[in-house]
Structure 1
C-alpha cells in the first residue's frame, strides 16, 4: 500500500488539489515530530543561484542580546558602476518552528531577476528554543544591519522592503510595527499568506482543521511554541500583529492569501484595519489557493498569477 496522500482542503483549486493529492502526507506536527519536520525543511541555496549572475556574501549580524545571526546577501552582479538599488529583507516561512534563510528564497530571487533588487535573508532563531519577541528582534537586527551597510552591498537605504511568507510574513508585519515605533524607516512591506493572529479562532481557522498543508491544529502548535506559555495579556503585537491596536503610520503594504487556507480571514481583517487607519494596502485573496500554494507548486496557473501580481506591485511601488 502506498503512502497516504496530502488531502486538499474544501474549496481548493482543482489543479492544486490534484497536485496536493500526489504529495505524501506527513504525520501531525508536534514536539515529537518537530525534529523530523526540521530535517525535511532544510534548504540549499546553490541550486537557486545556478545560472544567475549574482554576488553572494555571508555575514554575521549581531542580535539584540549579543548572539550572532547568519544572513545571506545576494546582489545582481552587474559591475562596480551599478547604482544603488532597493533591498528586500526576506523572512522565511515555517510556522515559527522550522525552516532556514534559504527557504522559499526563489520568491525574492525572482524580484532580483526582474527588478535588480538586493536580497538579504536572515537566519532568525526558531521556537520553542526562542520565544516571545526574540524572532522579531532577530529580524530587526537584520534590518539595522542593512541600514548600516547599505553602501557596502549596493543598496539604497531609503528603499528597503520587508517581505516574508507564512510565519515570515507574520514576523515581517511585526518587524514593521517595531521599526515604526523605533523610528526606523521601511519603504514597503510585502506579506505573503502571513501568520498574524495567535488566537487562531477565525472562521477560516476552524474551516481548515485536520490534515492539510497547514491546519488549525498545526497553527496552534506553532503559536504555543513561540508564545512559551505567555498569557493572552502578555502577547506582544510585535509577535502577533493582529492584536496591535494602532496600525497607523505603516508603509505601503501588500497582502495575499488563498481562499482555502487557515490565514485567509486574519489577512483580510489586517488589510481592512490598515485601510481604516488611513494606510495604503493592496489585498489579493486567491480563489482556491491553499496555504503556500505558490511555493509548493510555482508552475500552477494560480501560482503564476499570484507571483506576477506581487512582482507588478513591487515594480510600481519601487518606481513611485
Structure 2
C-alpha cells in the first residue's frame, strides 16, 4: 500500500516525516546495526526511574523460570495505594528489537490516573540479544509472578490485565493464547494496541507500505530478527498470534489501529476472528494515521480520540471483567 502525503492526517504529517527522515534505513544490515545501538543506549538509560506526581515508581529483579538469571521490572503504584487493585502487565513496543519500559511510562501512568491500579512493566529480552521465545517467556514469567505475588503487590489475582503497543501488543496477543493453553493463570482483559502479530506480510496494508515510522521493510527485518532460524511453516501462534487457528476462551479485548499503517489489515482480521470465536471486542480504526501516531504526536486531535477510546475501555474493564483464578 503506497501512502501519499495527502493520506496522512494533517496534524500528524510534520512529526511523522521528520522522524522518518531521522530514522530511515536503506538496508537490513544498517537497520539491524541501528537496533543494536539503540539497545545499548536503552541499557544505559535503564534504571533512571523516579516518582511521578501521585505515583510511586520502583525497580525489582524477579526470577526467570528454569534459569539463574532475572528479569528487571518496573512497578508503578498510586501514591495512596491500597489492597485489591487491578494488576496490569504493560508490555513496551519497539518491533521486538528495541526499547525499554521507561520509554513507555506515559501509558503506565495514564492507566493509573484513569483507574487506580498497579502496573508492572517488564524489561523483556529483545531480539537483538535473544530470539523468540525469550521475550514471550519473560512476559509470561512476569505474569505468573504477578499472580503468585498478588497479596504482596496489593492486587487482585482475579483481575489481571495485559496490554501494550505494537510489539507489546503482539506479545499481549501471544501471551493470552499462551496463558490460555498453559492453564496456570487466567487473564481478565487484554489491550493489544495496533499489534504486531503476523510475520507473513501478505495483507494489502503490509505490502509495499511506505508510511512514516514503520513500513514494510522495517516490519520484514524486525520479524526476521525476532524469529531467527525458525522455518516459515514452523512459526507458532505464540510468536505470531495471527497464525492461531483457535481464538476461543480468550479475554475481552480492546484494540485500535491507523488506516495507513502495515498492521491495519492483520488487526482487522484478528478482531474478526476473535468475534467469530465469541470474544467481546471493542475496535476502532483511525483515518490518516500511521503506526504509533498516538505516541509520536499525542496532542493531535485524532491521538486524543484514540487515547480516550482505550482509557475509557480500560475503566469499563476494571469495573466489569473479573476472572476467578481456579488454576
1:129 match: secondary structure? coil
TM-score by length of 1: 0.91
Structure 1 runs of 4+ aligned residues shifted over 3 Å read 7-10, 21-24, 36-50
Tell me the distance in 2 between the aligned counterparts of 1:19 and 1:57.
32
24, 27, 46: which one aligns with 1:27: 24
Larger displacement relative to structure 2 (82-91 or 136-145): 82-91
SS at 1:33's partner residue? Answer: helix
Alignment of 1:33-112 (within 5 A): 33-38=34-39, 49-50=51-52, 52-66=53-67, 67-78=69-80, 82-112=82-112
CA contact (8 A) 2:88 2:117 kept: yes
CA distance in 1, matches of 2:136, 2:124: 8
- Tell me the equivalent position of 2:12: 16
Distance 1:304 1:250, change over 3 A: same
SS of the equivalent of 1:204 reads coil
Post-superposition shift, 1:151? Answer: 1.2
Unaligned runs of 5+ in 2: 321-327
State the superposition RMSD in angstroms: 2.0
The farther-off stretch of 57-66 and 111-120 is: 57-66
Q: Which moved more, 1:12-21 or 1:221-230?
A: 12-21
2:182 aligned residue = 182
C-alpha change, 1:19 and 1:8, in structure 2 (3 Å) is: farther
SS at match of 1:203: coil
Most deviating of 222-231 and 13-22: 13-22
In structure 1, C-alpha distance between the alignment counterparts of 2:46 and 2:311, rounded to whole Å: 24
CA distance 1:268–1:133, change in 2 (3 Å): same
- Is the 8 Å Cα contact of residues 15 and 296 (structure 2) preserved in structure 1? no
Match of 1:282 in 2: 282
Count of aligned pairs:
310
- SS of 1:250's equivalent in the other structure is coil
Tell me the alpha carbon deviations over residues 221-255 of structure 1, each in whole angstroms, 9 at most, x when there is no partner. 11001111211221111110000110000000011
CA contact (8 A) 2:85 2:117 kept: yes
Structure 1 residue 31 displacement after superposition: 2.3
CA contact (8 A) 1:8 1:20 kept: no
Alignment check: 8 A CA contact 1:10 1:260 kept: no
Structure 1 unaligned blocks of 5 or more = 1-6
2:46–2:100 CA contact under 8 A, matched in 1: no
The aligned residue for residue 204 of structure 1 is: 205
* Contact 2:49–2:58 (8 Å) recurs in 1: no
Aligned to 1:167: 167
Change (3 A) 1:163 1:45: farther
Higher helix share: 2
- What is the rounded CA distance, in whole Å, between the counterparts of 1:121 and 1:158 in structure 2? 19
